[in-house]
Structure 1
Amino acid sequence: MKPVLLINPNTSVLTTQMMADIARACLASWPGGAPALRALTMPHGVPMIVEEADLQAAAHAVGELALTHTELVADEVCGVIVAAFGDPGVAVLRQRLAVPVVGIGEAAMREAAQHGRRFGIATTTSSMAASIEAGVRRHGLEAAFCGVRFTSGDPQALGRQPAALQAALADAVAACIELDHAQAVVIGGGPLGQAAQALSTRFDIPVIGPVPAACRSLLHMLAGIG
């Protein structure tokens, strides 16, 4: 099978490596074997998408990959994961490519809403509130959505402190559960992947990391399930 391509729409190579490690572990656990994974970091842009302007610039850059990147132009991959929570460029890639394209934001929200569950989102980027809520509406999930809870402070500074990031996100998840009555919580951000893994076993409801959710969604597509 051809490999999966994971695109990191920001410029942080360390974030790409972290998300790729998570994705590879998820792909490897798939029964019956699974594709290998290649990862691509944006050569220009921002190290973390924290503003609406960052998201718009990332969407343009990701969309251009379908015209310029060798693996995509030559049809050398079996599917693409866009690993930013706002799913920048996903719509354009779906128009231009013949392979499945999965955004981590959409995949995580849809997984959270399965079986009629009310879901919340816990994340660090309060300035992205409007685009997160717009994404919920775009995917037709308003009826299942019970709100988004944000950590306080600068998201990039928090991201450099893994223990503090995990603790802050744990508080946000707890608020989703206790105040908003969420039955599942999505951790809203690819760079939050390690914290999402750590939190996935701390609560009595599903706490969903977006990168594994995207891998599961893509594997189901490739297998013709759902």
Structure 2
Amino acid sequence: MHLLLINPNTSRATTESMAGIARNAMPGITVECLTAPFGVPLITNATELALAAEAVAAALAAPRTGIDGIVIAAFGDPALQSLRQRLAVPVTGIAEAGMAEAGQDGRRFAVVTTTPDLVTSIAGLAEGYGHGGAFLGTVLTKGDIRTVMADPDRLAEALLEASRRAVREFGADAVVIGGGPLALAARRIGPDVPVPLIEPVPAAVRLAVARAAKT
């Protein structure tokens, strides 16, 4: 099974970290990776998310062969619907997959993330994917986003605190970490969160493989 993971931001370091996590998500898969050809290194608002959608579409404009599925590795799932309309292979977004996995078996879930200006977009995705009754809301990390993101230890601590708050204050049965650049930190804190913590990149790989197997 050969998947293509595209990072909709311009950070090659983020691309490599997500690709490494994706490759370890399931046995027997190969993961090729792409980085957005233009845009921003960190998507923090709706304007940057729209630009990321343009970058993803541009990166995948040329036909590609030997690919069984595509994973869009930004939590806003930029260009997901437009790519589905013109590509023959299944296209999966990490927000789509993370929310689907979190909501299994009737669980109610919250999203934990660092980006306050994307809260409305996240709520729209949850509603659009049919999780309106299960989605409890978004819990934000404390502190300036760029300061928190610049320090891996601080990021992990901030995500852990917000995840525990999602359980304590929102009553979440599961927590989705909302962001591709948060993937490494999500892996670190999972054992310390008192409910299932959904890592969106592995969730997207699992869903992408399942979809590709049906085509």
Same topology, TM > 0.5: yes
The alpha-carbon deviation at position 162 of structure 1 amounts to 0.7
Question: Percent identity over the alignment?
Answer: 44
Q: CA deviation at 1:145?
A: 0.8
Contact preservation (8 Å) 1:66, 1:97: no
Consecutive unaligned residues in structure 1, runs of 5 or more:
29-33
For residues 187-220 of structure 1, give each alpha carbon's deviation from its aligned partner in whole angstroms, at most 9, with x where no partner exists: 0000000111112111231001110110111111
Calculate the aligned-residue CA RMSD, in Å: 1.3
CA deviations on 1:22-77 (whole Å, 9 max, x unpaired) are 0000032xxxxx33110001121100100110000111121233323xxxx03331
User: What residue number does 1:51 align with?
Assistant: 45
1:192 aligns with 2:191: no
In structure 2, the partner of 1:172 is 162
* CA-CA distance at 1:153 after TM superposition: 2.6
Match of 1:61 in 2: 55
Kept in 1: contact 2:11–2:35 (CA 8 A): yes
Q: Size of the alignment, in residue pairs?
A: 215
Distance 1:65 1:161 in 2: 30
TM score, norm. by length of structure 1: 0.92
Question: In 2, are the aligned partners of 1:11 and 1:43 still within 8 Å (CA)?
Answer: yes
Gaps (5+ residues) in structure 2? none
Matching residue within 110, 120, 126 for 2:100: 110
Cα distance, 1:147 vs structure 2: 1.3
Does the 8 Å contact 1:102/1:218 carry over to 2?
yes
The runs of 4+ residues in structure 1 deviating greater than 3 Å are none
On the 8 A contact 2:148/2:154 being kept in 1, the answer is yes
Q: Name the stretch that deviates more: 204-213 or 183-192.
A: 204-213
How is 1:1-226 mapped onto 2 (pairs within 5 angstroms)? 1=1, 3-28=2-27, 34-68=28-62, 73-224=63-214
Q: CA deviation at 1:160?
A: 1.3
Mapped partners of 1:64, 1:44: distance in 2: 9
